[in-house]
Chain A
Amino acid sequence: MKAITESGRRSRSWLRQQGLAVRGLLRAAVLAGVLQTLAIIVQMGLIAWLVHALLIVGLPFTSLFWPAGGLLLAIILRAFAQAAQERCGQHASARVRQQVREQLAADWSLLGPVRLADRSSAMLTNQWVEQVEALDGYYARYLPQQWLALLSPLLILLLVFWLDWLAALFLLLAAPLIPLFMALIGMSAEKISQQHVLEAGRLAGHFLDRVRSLTSLQLFGQTGAATASIRDAAERYRSVTMRTLRVAFLSSAVLEFFASVAIAVVAMYIGFGLLGYIDYGPAGQLTLFSGLLILLLAPEFFQPLRSLAQSYHDRAAALGAADGMAALQVEAASVARPQMVVSGSDDSLVQISGLSLDYPGRDRALDQVSLDIRRAEVVALVGPSGSGKSSLLHCLAGFVTPTTGAISLFGQSPGQQPLAWLGQQPFLIKGSWAENLRLTAPQADTSALLQAIEAVGLSALLAAQPQGLDTLLGEGGRGLSGGQAQRLALARVWLSDAPLVLLDEPTASLDEHSEGAVIVALRALAASGRTLVIATHHPSLMALASRRYHLEKGRLADV
């Protein structure tokens, strides 16, 4: 329970922080909202005055020309202020959302690929796209409305109080009852809506699972059973959603009830007061003008509260989204980036001296590793999984900062100069062959692209593509086999003139046939004078290396 309030507090303060940059716009939205209330007061006042002047005072209707013009003006002002309030809120929200996306993307870079590996990229993507969108209503509507739900009724109340304090008392009594009842209902609603979110997630999972396994279901003749289970899940989802909605509707019905009853009570009070049936309090001073005005303002008194109630789920959505984003930011801020001391200045060597790396809560990943790698050398890092091969590569690439020790890459510290990286899974974007190749070398011309393709032995495949280099690849290189995709990623390495190439198990997910093709391409890369550092346990890749280092529990073992 304490953890929940703690994260709630963090979410709230995070939301407040994000809103700081758009304070001006939010204030403008509130101001426009107040202006709208003032215009409404003028509009209703003029209507009441016109009626009063005509029926009670008996002014000729030709003398009512100017007030009538004023009425039209007030209506125009009201509509204008309404649009202005919306617009300010919309701009504030758009700006906050872009700013949050910038912040999150910056956090990703701060954390780097190694720390982010703990989180699923689908989850992070969902956070960056959907959850940021979920902030929209909070900044665009809820925040301005939070103030307006206080200011607008207060303005109206003051006026009604001046007109007839007893009528104002009726409104005042109804108003605080509303949040009280809504809070009571809201508490149970929160629990139900959590269940709803859970059930919605389950439903999507259930669907995705069945859709993914369609072929199996067909082959096993189980499509009928699967359809029945989908129907069940959809029906369960309906009933859970209805339970959430019933409570949500009940809270808005409470609001509706008080608003309606307050109007009815005020109308009766004014009617009886005008007839002189009420001989206490201020009722004796009621006129048709003040009575009608109070009646016309009564719905407007409750309207801001109703709008707030409607955007209350915006707040819940934003709080839910904020939690994860605040957590990411805290983690990114905790990443220490000390400037590493460059030990050597020899620009023909990669020098690693006394390198140790600790991850909190885990065994030491690297322990006092020292080694030198010459330019144009091919080095294999071998050892069982978890022995620190990848950690060493991560240090070389500058993705993590070692706890102690120093690295010099040809005279510079890691992260200073571009290098090439090839992981287990080839990274390919949804785009053409050319776009994929130019990802890290945007200036490369077509002949360079073709050379790189030739070097990794994909020329024949490229020739078979309908639009050559402009042929589109599917997401993640769909349409290519694993080996072809890895070689295309390798062509990108070829294209970059990074002198150092780091390869993390580049053939681990390939069959033997494809592995052979990748090794041929790697050999050509080595022959072109690059320095290769390969983490692997495949014998044929080890054979490529001119030197091998054996790692065991983070320590360099003697070969």
Chain B
Amino acid sequence: MSELKPWLALMMQRRMRLLLGALLMALTLFSAIGLLALSGWFITATGVTALLWAAGQKVMFDIYMPGSGIRFFALTRTVARYSERVYNHNTVLSLLADLRGRHFAALTLLDGATLSRLRAAQWLNRLTADIDTLDTLYLRLLAPPLVALLGIVLVCGLIAVFHVSLALIAGAMLLSLLLALTLGMALLGLHYSARRVEQLDALRVLALEQLQGQAELAAAGAIERHRQHLLAASQQMLSEQLVLQGRVACGQALATLGVMSTVAVCLFGTIQAYAAGVLSGPVMVMIPLALMALSEGFAGLPAAFAQGGATRAAATRLNQQVAMSSRLVEPLDPAPVPSELSLHWQGVGVRHAGLQDFDLVLHSGERLALIGPSGAGKSTLAALASRLIDPDCGVVSVGAAGPRDVSLQALSLEQWRARVGYLTQQTELLHDSISANLLLGNPAATKEQLWAVLELVDLADLVDAMPAGMNTWVGESGTQLSGGEGRRLALARVLLKDAPLIILDEPFSGLDAATRDRVSARLEPWLAGRTALFLGHDAALLPRSDRVVLLGD
């Protein structure tokens, strides 16, 4: 269970809130116990008193104290339950909100190679589903058994006042029950509950394949076979789930059996003690009834602990993310960024991209086109230049292409990236307005500047004609922009950044020839005086360059 340690430590930072929450939970249980035990005592006492009165004995019976006690417990129970729930959920939810912010912040520091290890949807699952799963840690796994334990101590303490050996027997029975329902259930459920997330994931992939491949599968007459495969996977998951649920059902039955047989055993014990004259009649009834009310504290344990594997699996995945650290070097004492921006890749190697011992100089003020097929390493060189990744060997340096050049790793990451405008091959647009997408390039840009860059990429007229203009929503499901228009918007954003070093990776993909020529011409004056690196398959599809370098297969 060491996976949970960091999370427990994190929760300990809010221990006062958690402790208060657990106390409220305990108060709810104690009121339930008080209500039933006192009512039982009261009824039996009145019954016995009535019998004595009938026999002509003059005994006093105060009905007001127990009466107000019963009313008190009934009210406390309701109030404590409601405030416990609201208070605890608020604590846990704000903890989760905090975790989300923290995890995202950690994510933004990672280098490109580490980030590409998982898909966006997987990172998203960490931030949402996995963090959500952690709410069970306190609400279902930590507090309830603790409260059940407190309940056992309270009730057994109460019994011990009257009958010590009976208290010991009840305590032993209830403690072993608690152990079975928590640790026992956790062990029984571990395997199946941990598997569920991956099973659902696999099922999703299969279903998606069935849908996306429907045309090919149906045409080839293979759809029935694939469907059987899909349904078999679902059946398999349901069968395993049934095994787990069966164990939970047994656990719940065991909880009932355990508490109620403790009640029965203690009833026999108190009957015997009553017969021996050790206990009074009302106390004889009160003790088993107090135990009976304790069952409320056990009822939720089996289901919660059987699902413990899911919590542990989520914690493990999150721990893996926490353990990932950026491989980008951040110097303690960064060198100033040189004014000349000649870029020199010296014997660089990047293992995962298959790049080895690569040399290239991009001179300050030069426009260089790197041409090669996909997979030749163009994007890797650009990622090195913008420090999305650092090389495994060799060095990328900047300066006047002389001995005084400084390695990019000696510069502050933030300061260096501020000098580079890089249009990546993948168009990444936020699901937000056109202006919000542009402002990412320069949050301080004025309206005029925004329109100016839209004009550069030949989008100004189009955006102007849109009913919402600059506030038009774009992004994943934004159907307002075509692929080529989205590409130009991404380009406009890079232009807005106004950086001295520009890297454009297939800037005109998805653009028709006429638009390409138009944008290319408008870029000419803008590119003057900047150092630029263009990447693509074909130099004809890039802005005009001074020099072309071919990258081989």
Q: Which of B61, B257, B373, B537 contacts A79 (CB 8 A)?
A: B257
8 A Cβ contacts from B193-248 to A:
200, 203-205, 207-223, 225-227, 230-231, 234-235, 238-239, 241-242, 245-246, 248
Q: Are A82 and B210 in contact (CB under 8 A)?
A: no
Which interface residue of A214, A272, A287, A399 has the most chain B CB atoms within 10 A?
A: A214
Minimum Cβ distance to chain B for residue A341 (Å)? 22
Please, how many angstroms separate the alpha-carbon atoms of A61 and B272 in the complex?
7
Inside 8 A of A417's CB, which chain B residues have their CB? 221
Known contacts A78-B256, A225-B443, A397-B218; A253/B211 CB under 8 A: no
Rounded to whole angstroms, the CA-CA distance of A68 and B264 in the bound complex is: 8
Complex Cα gap A272–B490 (Å): 81
Q: For A419, list chain B residues within 8 Å (CB).
A: 219-220
Asked if A220 meets B219 with Cβ closer than 8 Å, knowing A82-B256, A264-B35, A274-B46, the reply is no
Instruction: Output the residue of B127, B288, B432 with the most chain A CB within 10 A.
Output: B127
Cross-chain contact of B417 among A68, A113, A219, A225 (Cβ < 8 A): A219
Does the CB pair A215–B388 fall under 8 Å?
A: yes
Nearest B residue to A78 via CB reads B256
Report if A124-B211 is in contact (Cβ < 8 Å); known contacts: A94-B242, A129-B204. Answer: yes
Contact yes or no, B63 A218, CB < 8 A: no
In the assembled complex, the Cα of A86 lies from the Cα of B255 at a distance in Å of: 14
Q: Which residues on A sit within 8 Å (CB–CB) of B1? A: none
Our pick among B70, B123, B242, B418 for the contact of A91 (Cβ within 8 Å) is: B242
| Stretch of B37-45, B177-185, B462-470 on the interface side | B37-45
A395 to chain B, nearest CB (A): 12
With a cutoff of 8 Å between Cβ atoms, the chain B residues found around residue A263 in the complex are 35-36, 39, 74
Name the B residues within 8 Å of A238 (CB-CB). 90, 93-94, 96-97
Contact B214 A113 (CB under 8 A): yes
Q: Which residues from chain B contact A429 at a C-beta distance below 8 Å?
A: 209, 213
Closest B residue to A498 by beta carbon equals: B220
- Which of A154-162, A199-207, A319-327, A355-363 lies on the face that meets chain B? A199-207
For residue A256, CB closer than 8 A to chain B, the reply is: yes
B284 touches A208 (CB 8 A): no
In the complex, the answer to whether B242 meets A129 with C-beta atoms within 8 Å is: no
Q: Among A102, A140, A210, which residue has the most Cβ atoms of chain B within 10 A?
A: A210
Q: Across the two chains, which residue of chain B brings its CB closest to A216?
A: B428
- Bound-state Cα–Cα, A128 to B205, Å: 11
Contact mask for chain A residues 502-536; partner B; CB cutoff 8 A; 1 contact, 0 none: 10000000011100000000000000000000000
Asked if B475 is at the interface (CB within 8 A of a chain A CB), the reply is yes
Q: Mark A69-88, 1 if CB is under 8 A from B, else 0.
A: 00110011011101100110
Question: Which among B35, B214, B272 has the highest number of chain A CB atoms within 10 Å?
Answer: B214
B529 located at the interface, meaning its Cβ lies under 8 Å from any Cβ of chain A in the complex: no
B342 interface contact, C-beta 8 A: no
Q: How far is the CB of A170 from chain B (nearest CB, A)?
A: 13
Are A267 and B213 in contact, CB atoms less than 8 angstroms apart? no
Q: How far is the CA of A80 from the CA of B475 in the complex (A)?
A: 56
CB nearest neighbor in A for B373? A513
Cβ contacts under 8 Å, B223 to chain A? 109
CB-defined contacts of A288 to chain B, threshold 8 Å: 43-44, 47-48
Q: How far is the CB of A137 from chain B (nearest CB, A)?
A: 12
- Residues of B within 8 Å of A98, CB to CB, are 231, 234-235, 238
Give the residues in chain B near A513, CB-CB below 8 Å.
373, 537
The answer on a CB contact under 8 Å between B440 and A217 is yes
Do the beta carbons of B250 and A83 come within 8 Å of each other?
yes
Interface residue ranges of A24-67 to B (CB < 8 Å): 43, 47, 50-51, 54-56, 60-61, 64
B388 close to A421 (CB less than 8 A): no
Is A234's beta carbon under 8 Å from chain B?
Answer: yes
Closest to A248 in B: B85
Q: In the complex, are the beta carbons of A276 and B50 less than 8 A apart?
A: yes
B238 close to A47 (CB less than 8 A): no
**With a CB–CB cut-off of 8 A, which chain A residues contact B250?**
83
Q: Which residues of B contact A122 (CB under 8 A)?
A: 208
CB < 8 Å neighbour of B207 from A128, A220, A421: A128
How distant is the Cα of A94 from the Cα of B35 in the complex, in angstroms? 40
**Interface flag for B424 (CB, 8 Å):** yes
Residue among A209, A211, A237, A274 having the largest count of chain B Cβ atoms under 10 Å: A211
Given contacts A90-B249, A420-B219, A439-B213, contact A75 B260 (CB under 8 A): yes
Query: Are A249 and B43 interface neighbours, CB within 8 A?
Result: no
Q: Quote the shortest CB–CB distance from B240 to chain A (angstroms).
A: 10
Interchain CB contact (< 8 A) of A210 among B82, B104, B235, B252: B104
Residue B67, interface by CB 8 Å: yes
Contact check, B50 vs A275: say whether CB atoms are below 8 A apart: yes
Instruction: Tell me the smallest distance from the CB of A488 to a CB of chain B, in Å.
Output: 12
B430 part of interface (Cβ distance < 8 Å): yes
Whether A82 and B214, one on each chain, are in contact in the complex, defined by CB atoms closer than 8 angstroms, is no
When chains A and B are docked, how far (Å) is the Cα of A242 from the Cα of B97?
A: 12
Q: A221-B418, A222-B440 are in contact. Are A267 and B39 (CB under 8 A)?
A: yes
A271 and B388 form a contact (CB under 8 A) = no
A352 CB to nearest B CB, Å: 17
Does residue B290 face the partner (Cβ distance < 8 Å to A)? no
Q: Determine the chain B residues whose CB is within 8 A of the CB of A430 once the complex forms.
A: 205, 209
In contact, A61 and B271 (Cβ under 8 angstroms): yes
Asked if residues B101 and A109 are in contact (CB atoms below 8 Å), the reply is: no
- What residue in chain B is nearest A228 (Cβ atoms)? B101
> Which of A184-192, A291-299, A381-389, A446-454 contacts its partner?
A291-299
Judge whether B157 is part of the interface by a CB distance below 8 angstroms.
no
Nearest chain B residue, comparing its CB with the CB of A47 = B267
Contact of B218 among A109, A253, A425, A439 (CB under 8 A): A109
Contact assessment for B216 and A440 in the assembled complex, using a CB-CB cutoff below 8 Å:
yes
- B residues 144-201 in Cβ contact with A at 8 Å: 200
> Which residues of the other chain, B, contact A261 by a CB distance below 8 angstroms?
74
Interface hub of A51, A225, A427, A489 (most chain B Cβ within 10 A): A51
Closest-CB distance, A545 to chain B (whole angstroms): 20
A347: interface (CB < 8 Å): no
> Closest CB-CB distance, A280 to chain B, in whole Å?
17
For B233, give the chain A residue with the smallest CB separation. Answer: A101
User: Are A105 and B43 also in contact (CB < 8 A) when A51-B284, A80-B253, A261-B74 are?
Assistant: no
Cβ–Cβ < 8 Å partners of B267 in chain A: 47, 50, 71
Inter-chain contact B246/A271, CB cutoff 8 Å: no
Closest to B275 in A: A61
A55 touches B128 (CB 8 A): no
CA distance A249 to B45 in the complex (A): 36
Q: A211-B120, A274-B47, A421-B216 are in contact. Are A268 and B81 (CB under 8 A)?
A: no
Could you tell me which residues of chain A, from 122 to 168, have a CB within 8 Å of some CB in chain B?
Answer: 122, 124-126, 128-130, 133, 140
B121–chain A nearest beta-carbon distance, Å: 7
Minimum CB distance partner of B238 in chain A: A94
Q: Interface digits, B56-93 against A, CB 8 Å rule (1 contact, 0 not)?
A: 00000101001100110111011001100110011001
Task: Collect the chain A residues with CB atoms within 8 Å of residue B256's CB.
Answer: 75, 78-79, 82
Residue B29 at the chain A interface, CB threshold 8 Å: no
Quick check: A260 and B75 within 8 Å, CB to CB? yes
Contacts of A469 in B (CB 8 A): none
A and B contact pairs by CB, cutoff 8 A, 13 listed: A50-B271, A209-B476, A218-B388, A219-B424, A223-B109, A227-B101, A234-B100, A241-B93, A253-B78, A260-B74, A264-B70, A270-B46, A425-B212
Query: Which 4 A-B pairs rank lowest in CB-CB distance, beginning with the nearest?
Result: A288-B47, A223-B108, A421-B219, A267-B39
**Other A-B pairs, 8, CB within 8 Å; known A214-B108, A511-B509:** A61-B272, A75-B261, A78-B257, A234-B96, A256-B78, A295-B39, A427-B213, A429-B209
Interface residues in chain B, defined as those with a beta carbon under 8 Å from any beta carbon in chain A:
35-36, 39-40, 42-51, 53, 61, 63, 66-67, 70-71, 73-75, 77-78, 81-82, 85-86, 89-90, 93-94, 96-98, 100-101, 104-105, 107-109, 112, 115, 119-121, 123-124, 127-128, 200, 203-205, 207-223, 225-227, 230-231, 234-235, 238-239, 241-242, 245-246, 248-250, 252-254, 256-257, 260-261, 263-264, 267-268, 271-272, 274-275, 281, 284-285, 288-289, 292, 373-375, 386, 388, 414, 417-418, 420, 422, 424, 426, 428-432, 440-441, 443, 475-476, 493, 497, 509, 537-538
